[in-house]
Structure 1
């Protein structure tokens, strides 16, 4: 069996930190399973892009980076309540894997408790290479493009993503957590 590494992220949007983690996964395993988390959520302040849009960002970025698409498997994971049961569901939606790469302490703990090898990807500029920070820049009209690969910019432009993000933050939709300082900066 080929050794596989799982990486779970929301990719809202995919940024250079994600790309570095994906390439790290490929360095330590024969195949990488890229799990798009919260795939059933879109058009919310925290999850503005659809699963399909995020998969497109991933696929185009892998090609742009010169990576062999045959080494990567992309799966979607629906929105789950975080608990030990989550690991079971991830296993149902994914081919077998032995390693998990994540910065999320809860995800790390859950997979460790289930006996997986859990590794920390290289971290660079974590303060800026965060989806929430990039979305904040979009809302404020500041430069966000230097934080994401060119194919991600293309996908976001194709779906009018910046205006979508601005609208979602501006509307303050009930039931969704929006960091007020981000919205206040926009007003």
Structure 2
């Protein structure tokens, strides 16, 4: 099967974990290059969005370098807009052209198909891993082995992700 030129993979990556990584590596089997869009890029220091776009870019970059796939990927932060009818145009205005969109999100699938794009389901051997679980494990001081790439684990320690998540939680309790 010949590879399509370039794919698009949208996520918030709060934080980037092995579910994302495994899905990305599987999608890269179908394309020569991948555009990784960091959605909600303006959101940070919030319960569901604790990390900045720059931090998420670093996490993804470290994991891609660790798996030797960095050269095949673009990492593009895109802020949200609340008007879904314009969302795909917003994504396209920030990104190089692409041939296929990879997603498991029904709304993302619907929006890109309505805009005339081919959409393919992401396949991951780690579907049970999600960012909420990772954030909870960080807060509880539990091991992250087997749920995030080692380079991302080291990065989260470096930026003291546990302290940040605790501060966000304390702030929410006060409000």
When the two structures are superposed, what TM-score results if normalisation uses the length of structure 2? 0.91
Aligned to 1:47: 49
- Which of the residues 9, 16, 19 maps onto 1:17? 19
Query: Please, which runs of 5 or more residues in structure 2 have no aligned partner?
Result: none
Q: Give 2:59's aligned residue.
A: 57
Could you tell me how far apart the structure 2 residues matched to 1:27 and 1:174 are? 47
**2:50, 2:111 → 1: CA distance?**
26
- C-alpha contact (below 8 Å) 2:138/2:161 kept by paired residues: no
What is the CA deviation profile of residues 45-83 of structure 1, one whole-angstrom value per residue up to 9, with x for unaligned ones? Answer: 11111111111111111111122x321111111122251
- What 5-or-longer segments of structure 1 have no aligned partner? 176-187
Query: Does the 8 A contact of 1:6 with 1:35 survive in 2?
Result: yes
User: Which of residues 27, 30, 36 is equivalent to 1:28?
Assistant: 30
TM-score (norm 1): 0.85
Query: 4+ residue runs of structure 1 moved beyond 6 angstroms?
Result: none
Do the aligned residues in 2 keep the contact of 1:139 with 1:169 (CA within 8 Å)?
A: no
Distance 2:75 2:33 in 1: 11
Q: Number of residues paired by the alignment?
A: 172
Structure-2 change in CA distance of 1:7 and 1:86 (3 Å):
same
Deviation of 1:125 (Å)? 3.9
Query: Would you say the 8 A contact 2:26–2:124 is kept in 1?
Result: no
| Per-residue CA distance 1:9-46 (angstroms, 9 max, x = gap) | 11111101111121122111111001111111111111
Q: Relative to 1, partners in 2 of residues 1:21 and 1:125: Cα closer, same or farther, differing over 3 Å?
A: closer
Cα distance in 2 between the residues matched to 1:134 and 1:6: 24
RMSD: 1.8
Whole-angstrom distance in 2 between the partners of 1:76 and 1:174: 31
